[in-house]
Amino acid sequence: MTKPPAAVGHPRYDRLDALRAAAILWMAVFHFCFDLNHFRLIERQNFYADPFWTVQRTLIVSLFLFCAGLGQAVAWQQQQSWQRFWRRWAQIAGCALLVSLGSYLMFPRSFIYFGVLHGIAVMLVIVRLTAGWRHWLWPLGLVAIVLPHLVQHPFFDTRWTSWVGLITRKPVTEDHVPVLPWLGVMWWGVAAGQWVLAHRREWLTGALPRALRPLATLGRWSLSFYMVHQPVLIGLLMAWLALSR
Protein backbone atom coordinates (compact mmCIF):
# COMPACT_ATOMS: atom_id res chain seq x y z
CA MET A 1 0.00 0.00 0.00
CA THR A 2 1.32 3.48 -0.85
CA LYS A 3 2.43 5.44 2.19
CA PRO A 4 0.87 8.86 2.79
CA PRO A 5 3.03 11.92 2.24
CA ALA A 6 5.01 13.38 5.08
CA ALA A 7 2.91 15.37 7.51
CA VAL A 8 3.49 19.09 7.92
CA GLY A 9 1.10 19.64 10.82
CA HIS A 10 -2.41 18.79 11.94
CA PRO A 11 -4.57 21.85 11.35
CA ARG A 12 -8.35 21.82 11.54
CA TYR A 13 -10.17 22.54 8.30
CA ASP A 14 -13.06 24.81 9.23
CA ARG A 15 -14.74 24.45 5.86
CA LEU A 16 -14.83 20.68 6.16
CA ASP A 17 -16.16 20.92 9.71
CA ALA A 18 -18.85 23.35 8.55
CA LEU A 19 -19.88 21.04 5.71
CA ARG A 20 -20.12 18.16 8.18
CA ALA A 21 -22.26 20.34 10.44
CA ALA A 22 -24.59 21.16 7.55
CA ALA A 23 -25.09 17.44 7.01
CA ILE A 24 -25.93 16.70 10.65
CA LEU A 25 -28.24 19.71 10.95
CA TRP A 26 -30.13 18.58 7.86
CA MET A 27 -30.30 15.12 9.42
CA ALA A 28 -31.62 16.59 12.68
CA VAL A 29 -34.41 18.44 10.84
CA PHE A 30 -35.29 15.23 9.01
CA HIS A 31 -35.39 13.27 12.27
CA PHE A 32 -37.49 15.97 13.94
CA CYS A 33 -40.06 15.65 11.16
CA PHE A 34 -39.94 11.88 11.58
CA ASP A 35 -40.54 12.27 15.32
CA LEU A 36 -43.45 14.65 14.74
CA ASN A 37 -44.94 12.06 12.42
CA HIS A 38 -44.33 9.24 14.91
CA PHE A 39 -46.19 11.11 17.65
CA ARG A 40 -48.93 12.11 15.17
CA LEU A 41 -48.30 15.81 15.57
CA ILE A 42 -48.33 16.45 11.83
CA GLU A 43 -50.38 15.13 8.94
CA ARG A 44 -49.44 11.47 8.50
CA GLN A 45 -46.36 11.03 6.29
CA ASN A 46 -44.83 7.93 4.73
CA PHE A 47 -41.11 8.25 5.43
CA TYR A 48 -40.44 4.83 3.92
CA ALA A 49 -41.97 5.35 0.46
CA ASP A 50 -42.69 9.03 -0.24
CA PRO A 51 -39.92 10.34 -2.55
CA PHE A 52 -39.96 13.67 -0.72
CA TRP A 53 -38.55 11.88 2.32
CA THR A 54 -36.64 8.99 0.76
CA VAL A 55 -34.68 11.26 -1.59
CA GLN A 56 -33.82 13.54 1.32
CA ARG A 57 -32.55 10.56 3.30
CA THR A 58 -30.35 9.48 0.39
CA LEU A 59 -28.91 12.97 0.03
CA ILE A 60 -28.29 13.33 3.77
CA VAL A 61 -26.50 9.99 4.05
CA SER A 62 -24.52 10.74 0.88
CA LEU A 63 -23.33 14.08 2.25
CA PHE A 64 -22.55 12.53 5.63
CA LEU A 65 -20.44 9.73 4.10
CA PHE A 66 -18.79 12.02 1.56
CA CYS A 67 -17.66 14.22 4.45
CA ALA A 68 -16.37 11.13 6.25
CA GLY A 69 -14.34 10.34 3.12
CA LEU A 70 -13.00 13.88 2.98
CA GLY A 71 -11.99 13.55 6.61
CA GLN A 72 -10.11 10.34 5.88
CA ALA A 73 -8.27 12.04 3.02
CA VAL A 74 -7.12 14.69 5.49
CA ALA A 75 -6.15 12.03 8.06
CA TRP A 76 -4.18 10.12 5.40
CA GLN A 77 -2.39 13.27 4.29
CA GLN A 78 -1.53 14.07 7.92
CA GLN A 79 -0.22 10.52 8.51
CA GLN A 80 -2.72 9.76 11.24
CA SER A 81 -1.40 6.91 13.38
CA TRP A 82 -3.21 3.60 13.62
CA GLN A 83 -3.50 4.17 17.37
CA ARG A 84 -5.42 7.39 16.85
CA PHE A 85 -7.48 5.80 14.11
CA TRP A 86 -8.56 2.89 16.33
CA ARG A 87 -9.36 5.23 19.20
CA ARG A 88 -11.78 7.19 17.03
CA TRP A 89 -13.08 3.99 15.46
CA ALA A 90 -13.88 2.56 18.91
CA GLN A 91 -15.94 5.66 19.70
CA ILE A 92 -17.97 5.25 16.51
CA ALA A 93 -18.44 1.50 16.99
CA GLY A 94 -19.48 2.01 20.62
CA CYS A 95 -22.01 4.65 19.60
CA ALA A 96 -23.34 2.28 16.92
CA LEU A 97 -24.05 -0.30 19.61
CA LEU A 98 -25.84 2.32 21.70
CA VAL A 99 -27.97 3.25 18.67
CA SER A 100 -28.96 -0.41 18.27
CA LEU A 101 -29.90 -0.63 21.94
CA GLY A 102 -31.85 2.62 21.97
CA SER A 103 -33.72 1.83 18.77
CA TYR A 104 -34.56 -1.64 20.06
CA LEU A 105 -36.24 -0.09 23.09
CA MET A 106 -38.33 2.19 20.85
CA PHE A 107 -38.78 -0.01 17.76
CA PRO A 108 -38.26 -3.64 18.85
CA ARG A 109 -39.52 -5.02 15.53
CA SER A 110 -37.51 -2.68 13.32
CA PHE A 111 -34.54 -1.68 15.43
CA ILE A 112 -31.35 -0.39 13.79
CA TYR A 113 -28.88 -3.24 13.50
CA PHE A 114 -26.74 -1.77 10.71
CA GLY A 115 -27.37 1.93 10.35
CA VAL A 116 -25.14 4.82 9.39
CA LEU A 117 -22.72 4.49 12.32
CA HIS A 118 -22.42 0.72 11.85
CA GLY A 119 -21.73 1.30 8.16
CA ILE A 120 -19.17 4.01 8.87
CA ALA A 121 -17.36 1.76 11.35
CA VAL A 122 -16.91 -0.97 8.72
CA MET A 123 -16.21 1.37 5.81
CA LEU A 124 -13.61 3.39 7.73
CA VAL A 125 -11.41 0.31 8.03
CA ILE A 126 -11.72 -0.40 4.30
CA VAL A 127 -11.04 3.23 3.41
CA ARG A 128 -8.04 3.37 5.72
CA LEU A 129 -6.50 0.34 4.00
CA THR A 130 -7.21 1.61 0.48
CA ALA A 131 -6.52 5.35 0.79
CA GLY A 132 -3.20 4.90 -0.99
CA TRP A 133 -4.94 3.74 -4.17
CA ARG A 134 -5.62 7.42 -4.92
CA HIS A 135 -7.19 7.96 -8.39
CA TRP A 136 -8.28 4.31 -8.57
CA LEU A 137 -10.85 5.13 -5.89
CA TRP A 138 -12.97 6.94 -8.51
CA PRO A 139 -13.72 3.83 -10.65
CA LEU A 140 -13.86 1.61 -7.56
CA GLY A 141 -16.44 3.95 -6.08
CA LEU A 142 -18.51 3.71 -9.23
CA VAL A 143 -18.36 -0.08 -9.12
CA ALA A 144 -19.44 -0.10 -5.48
CA ILE A 145 -22.41 2.15 -6.24
CA VAL A 146 -23.55 0.26 -9.34
CA LEU A 147 -22.92 -3.31 -8.17
CA PRO A 148 -26.00 -3.65 -5.87
CA HIS A 149 -28.20 -2.73 -8.84
CA LEU A 150 -26.71 -5.54 -10.91
CA VAL A 151 -26.11 -8.29 -8.37
CA GLN A 152 -28.59 -9.40 -5.71
CA HIS A 153 -29.08 -12.72 -3.94
CA PRO A 154 -31.49 -13.94 -1.22
CA PHE A 155 -28.47 -14.99 0.84
CA PHE A 156 -27.96 -11.31 1.67
CA ASP A 157 -31.54 -10.74 2.82
CA THR A 158 -30.96 -11.90 6.40
CA ARG A 159 -30.19 -9.68 9.36
CA TRP A 160 -26.70 -11.21 9.53
CA THR A 161 -25.79 -10.68 5.87
CA SER A 162 -27.75 -7.64 4.66
CA TRP A 163 -24.91 -5.36 5.79
CA VAL A 164 -23.10 -6.29 2.56
CA GLY A 165 -25.83 -4.63 0.48
CA LEU A 166 -26.54 -7.18 -2.26
CA ILE A 167 -30.12 -7.57 -1.07
CA THR A 168 -33.22 -8.51 -3.06
CA ARG A 169 -35.61 -6.67 -0.71
CA LYS A 170 -35.32 -3.88 1.82
CA PRO A 171 -34.93 -5.11 5.41
CA VAL A 172 -37.39 -4.16 8.13
CA THR A 173 -35.33 -1.63 10.05
CA GLU A 174 -35.46 2.07 10.83
CA ASP A 175 -32.08 2.74 9.23
CA HIS A 176 -30.01 0.61 6.86
CA VAL A 177 -26.67 1.78 5.45
CA PRO A 178 -24.94 -1.30 3.98
CA VAL A 179 -21.37 -1.33 2.72
CA LEU A 180 -22.61 -1.47 -0.87
CA PRO A 181 -23.38 0.99 -2.40
CA TRP A 182 -22.35 3.45 0.34
CA LEU A 183 -18.67 2.54 0.35
CA GLY A 184 -18.57 4.08 -3.13
CA VAL A 185 -19.68 7.45 -1.74
CA MET A 186 -17.00 7.36 0.94
CA TRP A 187 -14.35 6.30 -1.59
CA TRP A 188 -15.35 9.27 -3.75
CA GLY A 189 -15.02 11.49 -0.69
CA VAL A 190 -11.47 10.23 -0.15
CA ALA A 191 -10.57 10.65 -3.83
CA ALA A 192 -12.08 14.14 -3.94
CA GLY A 193 -10.30 15.11 -0.73
CA GLN A 194 -6.95 13.90 -2.02
CA TRP A 195 -7.41 15.83 -5.27
CA VAL A 196 -8.40 19.00 -3.43
CA LEU A 197 -5.46 18.75 -1.03
CA ALA A 198 -3.09 18.33 -3.99
CA HIS A 199 -4.55 20.91 -6.39
CA ARG A 200 -7.03 23.24 -4.64
CA ARG A 201 -5.98 23.15 -1.02
CA GLU A 202 -7.50 26.55 -0.34
CA TRP A 203 -10.96 25.06 -0.83
CA LEU A 204 -10.47 23.36 2.54
CA THR A 205 -7.98 25.66 4.26
CA GLY A 206 -9.72 28.94 3.44
CA ALA A 207 -11.28 30.99 6.22
CA LEU A 208 -14.99 30.85 6.96
CA PRO A 209 -17.16 33.96 7.21
CA ARG A 210 -17.74 34.89 10.83
CA ALA A 211 -21.42 33.98 10.60
CA LEU A 212 -20.55 30.39 9.65
CA ARG A 213 -17.91 29.78 12.32
CA PRO A 214 -20.41 28.22 14.74
CA LEU A 215 -20.98 25.55 12.08
CA ALA A 216 -17.28 24.67 12.19
CA THR A 217 -17.47 24.26 15.96
CA LEU A 218 -20.52 22.04 15.68
CA GLY A 219 -18.85 19.97 12.97
CA ARG A 220 -16.01 19.10 15.35
CA TRP A 221 -18.56 17.54 17.70
CA SER A 222 -20.63 15.77 15.05
CA LEU A 223 -20.62 12.34 16.75
CA SER A 224 -21.72 13.79 20.09
CA PHE A 225 -24.44 15.79 18.37
CA TYR A 226 -25.57 12.69 16.48
CA MET A 227 -25.90 10.72 19.70
CA VAL A 228 -27.80 13.29 21.74
CA HIS A 229 -30.08 14.98 19.23
CA GLN A 230 -32.72 12.25 18.99
CA PRO A 231 -33.05 11.62 22.75
CA VAL A 232 -33.38 15.37 23.25
CA LEU A 233 -35.94 15.81 20.46
CA ILE A 234 -37.99 12.80 21.54
CA GLY A 235 -37.82 13.88 25.18
CA LEU A 236 -39.03 17.37 24.34
CA LEU A 237 -41.91 16.06 22.25
CA MET A 238 -42.94 13.60 24.98
CA ALA A 239 -42.85 16.44 27.51
CA TRP A 240 -44.96 18.59 25.19
CA LEU A 241 -47.51 15.84 24.80
CA ALA A 242 -47.66 15.28 28.56
CA LEU A 243 -48.11 18.99 29.32
CA SER A 244 -50.70 19.53 26.60
CA ARG A 245 -53.09 16.86 27.88
Number of domains in the chain: 1
Does a structural domain hold residue 9?
Answer: no
Residue 71 within a domain: yes
Which residues are bridge partners to 176 per DSSP?
Answer: 114
State which residues form the domain around 195. 14-244
Could you report the per-residue pLDDT of 174-208, keeping only the tens digit for each? Answer: 999 999 999 999 999 999 999 999 999 999 888 89
3-state SS, residue 101: helix
**Segment 87-101, tens digit of pLDDT:** 999 999 999 999 999
In a domain, 115, yes or no: yes
User: Average pLDDT for residues 94-123, to the nearest whole number?
Assistant: 95
pLDDT at 245: 75
Peptide bond into 139 cis (omega under 30): no
Residue 85, pLDDT score:
96
Lowest mean pLDDT segment, chosen from 40-44, 56-60, 62-66: 40-44
Four-point Cα dihedral 139, 140, 143, 144, nearest 10 = -140
* Under 8 Å between Cβ of 74 and 19: no
